[in-house]
Chains A and B, each alone.
Chain A
Amino acid sequence: MHRLIDLKRVAVMMVASVLLSFATAAISDSTVVEGSKAAGMDKGGCVAPQMDMRRNHMEYLKHQRDEVVHKGDRSSKFALAECVNCHASKDKKGHPVPVNAKDQFCDSCHDYAAVNITCFQCHRKVPEEK
């Protein structure tokens, strides 16, 4: 009898935990609040809203890499070169500063969050000279 109650208790907890795990997985589509500054970025700004880019830029870049390398499809809007083009600042003399240099666009957050970037071991870190 005692064992039966035990099993029942365990079963209830198992079900509860499964439900909770579904919930965790399902409700996690975060969106940017309508009318916020970040949403404004849509209009001709970045390739995606700021809040989206902050969370998912690594996925977009990785996805784009796979599209290009595996399928030869270069139509994706997510290209690292484009990031660099817009986000590399210029020093006093007007020369572009590498995006991964200290306190620059990439580095400032990546260093802050202790994430190593290896992109620029191969890729360009300043805009292409025209």
Chain B
Amino acid sequence: MSFFFALLFILASLVFVVGLTLKIIQYAKTPVPLKIVTTPAPVTKSGVVLRMFREVVFFESLFKSTKWTWIFSWVFHMALLLVLIRHLRYFIEPDAVPAVVWTLIELVQPFGMYAGFGMVLGLVGLFLRRVLVDRVRYISAPSDYLMLLMLGFIGFSGLMMTFVVHTDIVAIKQFFTFNGGQLPADFPLIIHLSLVALLMLIFPFSKLLHVPGIFFSPTRNQVDNPREKRHIVPWAKALEEEQN
């Protein structure tokens, strides 16, 4: 089983990293011929950094829109962040990082433990909204429900292992840090890891691309200075030269 999971995770990591990198390169390489920032917008670069920060950390635009969606998705994402930080302990050797970092990882453990509930709660809220609000139901494809279910089961199986049936986390860490550990044959763990691998596999091909996408969104990341500074991309420049 460990062998199977080792293969699975090597594959999933490869697909995740390569796929995502290719997508990011694609986004970065695709030109933005016009200034299309949604105004009112910052007029300086630092202002844009601040706007992006508010968008990514507080979900500012969503907050303006609907408070229910905002609260569920914000709770889910922030909880997920804590949970992910908590999981660093499985991939980092204590001696490989400065003591402060390790202390921080230790400190975050209890928060990450309970954040798991926030994660699942947020997902349940989002799922209910998808089912109950007719407008959202209309725009949902099967994958939209499955994505929530998948994340939900990742969270649920994780909570099971944290609070109900523990697994051998030292062995898991040895497995993931290539120290020859055998994965314990615990059912929640198998569910947990399989779904996480699946999530990584579909990441570059799905709406999870909203993660890199937001940083490349021209309506949010542009500086509002078209009059002050001429904005022109190569293909537009070429058009100009060809016609003049």
| A/B touching: CB–CB < 8 A | yes
With A9-B142, A28-B164, A55-B166 in contact, is A112–B137 under 8 Å at CB? Answer: no
Does A121 touch B at the CB level, under 8 Å? Answer: no
Q: A30 vs B185: C-alpha distance in the bound complex, in angstroms?
A: 7
A59 contact set on B, CB distance < 8 A: 166
Residue A6 lies at the interface, judged by CB distance under 8 Å to chain B: yes
B106 x A112 contact (CB < 8 A) = no
Give the distance in Å from the alpha carbon of A17 to the alpha carbon of B123 in the complex.
Answer: 13
Contact (Cβ within 8 A) B173 A17: no
A6-B137, A24-B191, A30-B184 in contact; A114/B166 too (CB < 8 A)?
Answer: no
In this assembly, does B188 line the interface, its C-beta being within 8 Å of a C-beta of chain A? yes
Cβ–Cβ < 8 Å partners of A6 in chain B: 137
Contact indicator per residue, chain A 103-116, by CB within 8 Å of chain B (1) or not (0): 00000010111111
Q: Assess the B165–A112 pair: CB atoms within 8 A.
A: no
Report how far A13 CA is from B49 CA in the complex, Å: 41
Interface of B is mostly: helix
CA separation between A28 and B185, bound complex, in Å?
Answer: 9
Cβ-defined contact, B102 with A55, below 8 A: no
Query: Quick check: B156 and A21 within 8 Å, CB to CB?
Result: yes
Residues of B within 8 A of A28 (CB): 160, 164-165, 186-188
| Other-chain contact of A114, B105, B157, B167, B185 (Cβ < 8 Å) | B105
B137 nearest CB neighbor, chain A only: A6
Could you tell me how many residues of chain A have their Cβ less than 8 Å away from some Cβ of chain B?
Answer: 28
Chain A, residues 8-28, CB within 8 Å of chain B (1/0): the string is: 011001000100110111011
In the bound complex, residues from chain A placing their C-beta under 8 Å from that of B105 are: 114
* In the complex, chain A residues whose CB is within 8 Å of the CB of B173: 112-113
In the assembled complex, A76 has its CB within 8 A of some CB on chain B: no
Number of interface residues of B (CB under 8 A): 34
Interface positions, chain B 91-124, Cβ under 8 Å from A, are: 93-94, 102, 105-106, 109
The answer on a CB contact under 8 Å between B167 and A30 is: yes
Q: State whether the Cβ of B169 lies closer than 8 Å to any Cβ in chain A.
A: yes
Residues of A within 8 A of B160 (CB): 24-25, 28
| A45 to B105 CA separation, bound complex (whole angstroms) | 34
A65 to B109, CA, bound (A): 23
Shortest distance in angstroms between A9's beta carbon and chain B's nearest beta carbon?
7
Chain B proximity of A36: nearest CB distance (Å): 11
Q: 20 pairs across A/B with beta carbons < 8 Å?
A: A6-B137, A13-B149, A17-B152, A20-B153, A21-B153, A24-B160, A24-B188, A27-B187, A30-B185, A51-B168, A51-B184, A54-B170, A54-B171, A55-B184, A59-B166, A111-B94, A113-B169, A113-B170, A114-B109, A116-B109
A residues in contact (CB < 8 Å) with B? 3, 6, 9-10, 13, 17, 20-21, 23-25, 27-30, 51, 54-56, 58-59, 109, 111-116
Contact surface of B with A, Cβ cutoff 8 Å: 89, 93-94, 102, 105-106, 109, 131, 134, 137, 142, 145-146, 149, 152-153, 156-157, 160, 164-171, 173, 184-188, 191
